[in-house]
Amino acid sequence: MELDFERCYRAVDSRDQRFDGWFYTGVTSTGIYCRPSCPAMTPKRQNVRFFPSAAAAQGAGLRACRRCRPDAAPGSPQWDVRADVVGRAMRLIADGVVDREGVPGLAARLGYTERHLHRMLRTEMGAGPLALARAQRAQTARTLIETTGLGLAEIAFAAGFGSVRQFNDTVREVYGAPPSELRAARRPAPGGAGTITLRLAYRPPLHARALLDFLALRALPGMEEVRDGTYRRGLRLPHGTGEVALTPADGHVSATLRLTDMRDLAPAVARCRRLLDLDADPAAVDQTLAADPALAPLVAAEPGIRLPRSVDGFEMAVRAIVGQQVSVTSARTTLTRLLTHTPADTVDHEVDGEPDLRNRRQPHDQPGGSGGGGGGLRGFPGAEEVLGLPDGAFGMPGGRRETIRALARAVASGELDLAPGGDREAAARGLLALPGIGPWTAGYVAMRALGDPDVLLPTDLAVRRGAAALGLPTDPKTLDAYAERWRPWRSYAVIRLWRAA
């Protein structure tokens, strides 16, 4: 298998975990091989070789690194492209899958036995799935203790613990103090029941205006808005609905969450981080793109451009289908019409044995300034809701309507997995198998829903306009060849071309 040296070396230099499983780095001076994300010092170019699999590196006489343990990856990129099982497992654990479905549910989603999954996580992370989920529950519990006025027993179950005793023992073990001491040390910030304000850290620089510009242009009335330097949107979460207000600040993004069920805190935070691409390494991306004289002035003028992603893979896939061969404004109009025909959000829990309708959003409600768990902005409809819509709700040609229905059936049945821990290659195959979905749509979904950092959309009209504005080739084939120098960050180059257009 041919591996491009420059592309692989840049990925190693960035230590971005998204490239784990693509290839393995052999260091001839030390006789070891590593994952691209290995925290060790980047080796010198003359001492590096790249291999398509761990077996190939072992065949060359190299041993596995004891820090990043590349031998834990279950196979080569030929069958686990762009996301090794450990990385996928960690994303699913962060989304709360273990708390909701247990280890059997996590293993089933990844396609492995519980025993094999446990062995891989122990080798790679030093802990099994239950211990990793327990650590996340402890972090969620501390956040709730320090930022809300909830009772400690409520916090225990909201954080996912099975009992108050387990909650007390875990917090004491992890933080060296009982929950009552953590509560005494911090006074919860005001904001009302179900409201939490957090600081989401990122690696600088962050071009906040570009993020907000991008989201504002595509904001759907009643679901999201950008106002006064803050992006607000409704959320559909595993246990209910919610709303978030995200305000970029110096060194962090302030996130104010209003949740109908506190068990959704960890999933909500994970989705907000994905939406704003806060886990990216902008310095590594900009260094590669700035090496192209055509993009260098853009990088110098606007460092830290991120790849806006999504909080829900199905939502982004619907947006991509609606956006085929139409302007952003036209797509937004069509999507807004679709939203007006879907039922109001309801909360999936009961109070005193009766459905809790306090947070239901009625069709006449207007988006609120500070947001509420359902009194302001709503979430995007799920696959089952879209399947139940009449033809007149879509406001688009019949072929495109049927494409969305085919997508909804595939997602609802589990045939197509667009979740953060899903397999990207399998998702791409599933999308392309649906009628009406071609390479542009599949690429757009891979870029924004699945977080693929290396997608180019050479046939995209705005990409070609941006290329023309920079004096670059506009013919799709020629542009595709030219863009090889942007690997492995072509998705970020697309965002810059869109801005140039």
Give bridge partners of residue 64 from the DSSP assignment. Answer: 33
Looking at the DSSP bridge assignments, the partners of residue 49 are 26
Span 225-284, pLDDT tens digits: 999 999 999 999 998 999 999 999 998 999 999 999 888 988 999 899 999 999 999 999
**Which of 94-98, 164-168, 346-350 shows the lowest mean pLDDT across its residues?**
346-350
Residue 34 CA to its chain's centroid (Å): 25
pLDDT-based confidence at 390, cuts 50/70/90? very high
* Burial of 327: CB neighbours in 10 Å, binned 0-12, 13-18, 19+: exposed
Question: pLDDT (tens digit, 9 = 90+) per residue, 88-132?
Answer: 888 888 888 888 889 999 988 888 889 888 888 887 778 889 988
Nearest C-alpha neighbor of 3 from the set 483, 11, 425, 68: 11
> Which helix (H) or strand (E) element contains residue 197?
strand 195-201
The yes-or-no verdict on residue 34 having pLDDT over 50 is yes
Tell which residue, 2, 14, 5, has the closest CA to residue 288: 14
DSSP character string of 279-296: TS-HHHHHHHHHTSTTTH
DSSP 8-class letter at 6? H
Residues 6+ apart with CB under 8 A from 4: 484, 487
Buried b (16+ CB within 10 A) or exposed e, 278-296: bbbebebbbebbeebebbe
Q: pTM value?
A: 0.74
CATH class of 194-280+309-437: alpha beta
Chosen CATH of 85-185 out of 1.10.3720.10, 3.40.50.300, 3.40.920.10, 1.10.10.60: 1.10.10.60
Helix (H) or strand (E) holding 442: helix 439-448
CA distances from 367 to 181, 194, 234, 243, 498 (A): 39, 18, 9, 11, 29
Q: Are the CB atoms for 224 and 272 separated by under 8 Å? A: no
Point out which residues pair with 227 in neighbouring strands: 230
The reported pLDDT for the residue numbered 78 is: 34
Q: Where are the domains of the chain?
A: 5-72, 85-185, 194-280+309-437, 461-500
Q: What is the 3-state secondary structure (H, E, C) of 374-408?
A: CCCCCCCCCHHHHHCCCHHHCCCCHHHHHHHHHHH
Alpha carbon distance 182, 142 (integer Å): 8
Residue with more model confidence, 187 or 14: 14
Q: Which of 26-35, 75-84, 370-379, 467-476 has the lowest mean pLDDT?
A: 75-84
Question: Which of 246, 249, 248 minimizes the C-alpha distance to 271?
Answer: 246
* CATH code, residues 5-72: 3.40.10.10
Distance CA 422, CA 82 (A): 11
- The catalytic residue positions are 34, 460
CB-based burial label for 128 (10 Å; 0-12, 13-18, 19+): middle
Q: Considering the chain, what percentage of its residues have pLDDT values greater than 70? A: 89
